[in-house]
C-alpha cells in the first residue's frame, strides 16, 4: 500500500509519523507525477485557501479532481476536509475545492485559534472513543444522501456538530487525529484503501 500526503502546505510530518507507526509506505505529493501509483491520498490540515491556490498554481488542482473522480481513496483533516467539500461557506471568492464529498463545510466554524479544544468522540468503525484535537476547525452543515456521518461533537456548546464524514472511499474529519498519538482513524482509512483496491495510473 502506498499512500500519498499532499505536501503543498500544512501539517505533513504528523501524518507521515502516523503512517510510519502503522508501517504504511507513503510519499509526499507536490507535483502531478507524484500521484502516479498511489493507492490513497491524505489531505492535511493547514490554510485551506492557500492550499487551494497552490494546487492551482502548481497544476495539481484539476488532476487531483480527476483522480478523486476516478476513485482514488482520500482522507482530509481540517483544511483537507474543506478541500474535499462540494460547497464551502465563509471562504474567499478565489478559493477552490474538489467536490469529492457531497457536503457543505463552514470554515473556522468553531472559532479562532484561541477557541481550539480537545474532546473524546465516538467514531463509526473505530472501537471506543477517539481523542480529537480541534484547531480553527470547520464543521459540516449539510450532508448528501450518500454521505455517512462518522462522528459528532458529543456535548457542550457545539453538541451534535458533524465532524467526521465518509462518502464511498473518501472520508474527512474536522479534527486532527495525527497529533493525538492515536493511529486508529488512519488505520480505518487504510482499511478503506485496501478494500478499494485502487491504483492511480
- Rounded to an integer, what distance in angstroms lies between the CA atom of residue 40 and that of residue 62? 17
CA angle 57/60/61 to nearest 5° reads 85
Which residue among the candidates 14, 178, 186, 200 is catalytic per the annotation?
178
Judge whether 56 counts as a catalytic residue: no
Query: Per the annotation, does 47 bind a ligand?
Result: yes
Q: 65 labelled as ligand-binding?
A: no
Q: Which of 78, 96, 158, 200 is catalytic?
A: 78
Give yes or no: 118 in active site: no
48 is annotated as contributing to ligand binding: yes
Task: Please report how many Cα atoms fall inside a 13 Å half-sphere around the Cα of residue 102, on the Cβ side.
Answer: 8
178 labelled catalytic: yes
Q: Which of 96, 176, 186, 200 is catalytic?
A: 176
Q: What is the DSSP letter of 174?
A: S
Write down how long the chain is.
201
User: Is 118 part of any known ligand binding site?
Assistant: no
162 is known to lie in a ligand binding site: no
Closest CA to 92 of 134, 27, 48: 48
Pairing relationship of beta strands 170-173 and 139-143 according to DSSP bridges: unpaired
Would the annotation count 101 as a binding residue? no
Residues forming the active site: 78, 176, 178
Q: Which residues contribute to the annotated binding site?
A: 46-48, 107, 135-136
Q: Which residues are annotated as a binding site for L-glutamine?
A: 46-48, 107, 135-136
Amino acid at each position: 500500500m502506498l499512500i500519498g500526503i499532499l505536501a503543498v502546505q500544512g501539517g505533513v510530518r504528523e501524518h507521515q509519523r502516523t503512517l510510519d507507526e502503522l508501517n504504511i509506505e507513503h510519499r509526499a505529493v507536490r507535483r502531478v507525477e507524484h500521484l502516479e501509483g498511489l493507492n490513497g491520498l491524505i489531505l492535511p490540515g493547514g490554510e485551506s485557501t492557500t492550499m487551494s491556490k497552490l494546487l492551482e498554481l502548481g497544476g495539481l488542482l484539476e488532476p487531483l479532481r480527476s483522480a478523486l473522480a476516478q476513485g482514488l481513496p482520500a482522507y482530509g483533516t481540517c483544511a483537507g476536509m474543506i478541500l474535499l467539500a462540494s460547497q464551502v461557506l465563509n471562504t474567499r471568492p478565489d478559493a477552490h475545492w474538489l467536490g469529492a464529498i457531497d457536503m457543505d463545510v463552514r470554515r473556522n466554524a468553531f472559532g479562532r485559534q484561541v477557541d481550539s479544544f480537545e474532546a473524546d468522540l465516538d467514531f463509526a468503525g473505530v472501537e471506543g472513543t477517539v481523542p480529537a484535537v480541534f484547531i480553527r476547525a470547520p464543521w459540516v452543515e449539510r450532508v448528501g444522501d450518500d454521505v455517512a456521518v462518522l462522528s459528532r461533537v458529543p456535548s457542550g456548546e457545539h453538541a451534535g456538530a458533524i465532524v467526521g464524514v465518509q462518502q464511498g472511499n473518501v472520508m474527512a474529519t474536522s479534527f486532527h487525529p495525527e497529533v493525538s498519538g492515536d493511529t486508529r482513524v488512519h488505520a480505518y482509512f487504510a482499511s478503506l484503501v485496501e478494500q478499494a483496491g485502487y491504483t492511480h495510473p
